[in-house]
Amino acid sequence: MKINNFFFTNAGAGVDISSAIRDTMLLFNVDAAGVWPEGARLADLKPGSLLIVSSVRCEEDQVSIKIVISFCTPAAEIESLTEYEYRPMPLARTKSEDSEDVTGLVRRLVRLTVLRLMRKLTGSNPAPWGILRGVRPTKIVHRLLDQGLIRSQITAKLVQEYALEPAKAALVTGIAIHQRPVIVSPDNPVNEKKISIYIGIPYCPSRCLYCSFPAYVLPERREQLDAFLRSITRDIESTSQLIARFNLSVESIYVGGGTPTSLSATDLAALLALIREGFRSAQTKEFTVEAGRPDSINNEKIDVLRQYGVNRVSINPQTMQDKTLKQIGRRHTVQDIIDIFGKIRYAGIPLVNMDVIAGLPGETEADMEDTMRQIAMLNPENITVHTLALKRGSILKESLSSGILSGQSLPNEEVTQAMLKVATDYATSLDMHPYYLYRQKYMTGNLENIGYAKPETDCLYNIQIMEERQTIIGIGPGAGTKAVSPNHWRLQSSYNAKDVVSYIKNLDVYLNERNTLLSRLYGDCKED
Ligand code: SF4
């Protein structure tokens, strides 16, 4: 069924529901033609156009929604479908962020109803995650667990109230239940002094086709790099002073980017020495460094990682197909990945993660099968399976827009879904379980990214950054500090500039912001 565009009425009983309707229709790739003109008749609808008429009533004890979708077929016939939803009027909003107010309820019910009607009308479901739009679907499950709901009640609620496919509802609920022992919850009381640290190194050996991150190819001019290293040193030192001042303990350290191992062995050693001295203690369980690109690492750097106590390394092949590696701008081969993996194992670093991406240009299900077969032979502790996200700012998105690459180069949604299934089956066969999950905008098929781990090897940092129940201090360009108050997980953030030049220039501003944020949470001027 080809739907060209849609008109809508914005009758939300005082609530603006236009974005709720537009966002939901975008899942079906249908753009708005505009608000339906007052006085226009259904007979004015053109073939291929659709009209969404909403009526919302907020009464004393009940919110009711009626949505009618009318579609004008190519034969100029009108097909109409209607759905109703009723819910009790929410109680007056408390300070708790868990409660949904009337505005939130109306918008959610509009999304839910439009999605259901569109699924019926088109016979398709491009939204396996229903009306959930956020990056962190597990957070909803954690809130429901906090309220005392059990697994079956949560999955039922996700299906009924958010229109998730039952398989996704079961997946996300299972992951959240698995995470409970390591995150703060009513059953696992607060240790607000336990935090994690993220350090971002924004350099890479070359730029990957799909990358939208502001990663820089390592500068040839030493002065530029020196200026960055001086700034990040100050950033680390300032953070370690805060940690000492507020008596915080660091549970996990994650050095990401970019590709931190792009730095020379000498620079990497100096950086890791500072990190170890500033942050590591007997309470630190995890120290990860991303060595994403095999073309960034060698024996000397592996030795530096080992020497400074790094116990988890991420090597990110993305694919084990040489033709694709070349196409996506990686300057290394499959054999390089295998060689580096062997060297990291030989060095005795205990935990290795490998990232793969489903949906890379030109790839098929058979390519994913072969990639996973090779990764399974290496037998890492963690595998993170991403779905390709066509993000603005990536060379891939620009190449597709400008016609350098055709849309056909990308596997379609069905193939990408089949690739994810292959990856999941391999992870299961390696005795791995899904332990964290997140979603991004513009993902093929509106799917998800999932981290798998062998027993007792979950990456704590990945869980904490997603669930937002632990304070995480971000160091380096683009890094964010999230100060989490145990009072309903209220979160206050400050961010460093993404681009290196602004980061260096305005570092004092960012350090002050972070200082204020953490002083409010841990210092004498507590807000909560
Ligand atoms: S290695 Fe990662 S951060 Fe660097 S260019 Fe590739 S995708 Fe971007």
pLDDT at position 524 is 60
Mean of the pLDDT values across residues 366-382?
Answer: 98
- Atom of ligand 1 at shortest range from CA of 207: 5
Share of the chain above pLDDT 70, in %: 97
pLDDT at position 185 is 86
Q: How far is the CA of 329 from the centre of ligand 1 (A)?
A: 10
* Domain locations along the chain: 1-93, 194-516
pLDDT digits (tens, 9 = 90+) for 154-165: 999 999 999 999
Q: Class of the 194-516 domain?
A: alpha beta
pLDDT at position 528 is 47
Residue 211 near ligand 1, beta carbon < 6 Å: yes
Q: How far is the CA of 388 from the centre of ligand 1 (A)?
A: 13
Q: How far is the CA of 216 from the centre of ligand 1 (A)?
A: 9
pLDDT greater at residue 187 or residue 126: 126
pLDDT greater at residue 212 or residue 9: 9
- Looking at ligand 1, which residue's alpha carbon is closest to its atom 6? 208
Residue 331 near ligand 1, beta carbon < 6 Å: no
Mean of the pLDDT values across residues 231-244?
Answer: 97
Q: Is 425 left (phi over 0), alpha (psi -120 to 50) or beta?
A: alpha
pLDDT at position 90 is 86
pLDDT at position 214 is 72
**Nearest one of 14, 41, 171, 36 to 102, comparing CA atoms:** 14
- pTM of structure: 0.92
Q: How far is the CA of 459 from the centre of ligand 1 (A)?
A: 20
- DSSP-derived letter for residue 477 is T
> What is d(CA 371, CA 389) in angstroms, rounded to the nearest whole number?
19
Mean of the pLDDT values across residues 134-143?
Answer: 94
Residue 357 near ligand 1, beta carbon < 6 Å: no
DSSP assignment of 406-436, as one string? -GGGS--HHHHHHHHHHHHHHHHHTT-EEEE
Average pLDDT across the chain, whole number: 92
Residue 107 near ligand 1, beta carbon < 6 Å: no
Q: How far is the CA of 208 from the centre of ligand 1 (A)?
A: 5
- Looking at ligand 1, which residue's alpha carbon is closest to its atom 8? 211
* 2 burial level (CB within 10 Å; 0-12, 13-18, 19+): exposed
User: Residue 184's pLDDT band (boundaries 50, 70, 90)?
Assistant: confident
Mean of the pLDDT values across residues 377-387?
Answer: 97
Instruction: Give the residue, out of 201, 203, 204, with the most ligand 1 atoms within 8 A of its beta carbon, to mutate for a pocket test.
Output: 204
For 440, half-sphere exposure in the C-beta direction (CA atoms, 13 angstrom radius) is 13
Residue 421: alpha-carbon gap to chain centroid: 19
> What is d(CA 126, CA 28) in angstroms, rounded to the nearest whole number?
7
At residue 219, does pLDDT exceed 60? Answer: yes
Give the orientation angle of helix 151-162 with respect to helix 138-146, to 10 degrees.
130
Mean of the pLDDT values across residues 42-62?
Answer: 93
Are 259 and 203 in contact by the 8 Å Cβ rule? The answer is yes
At residue 95, does pLDDT exceed 50? Answer: no
SS3 387: strand
Mean of the pLDDT values across residues 214-233?
Answer: 87
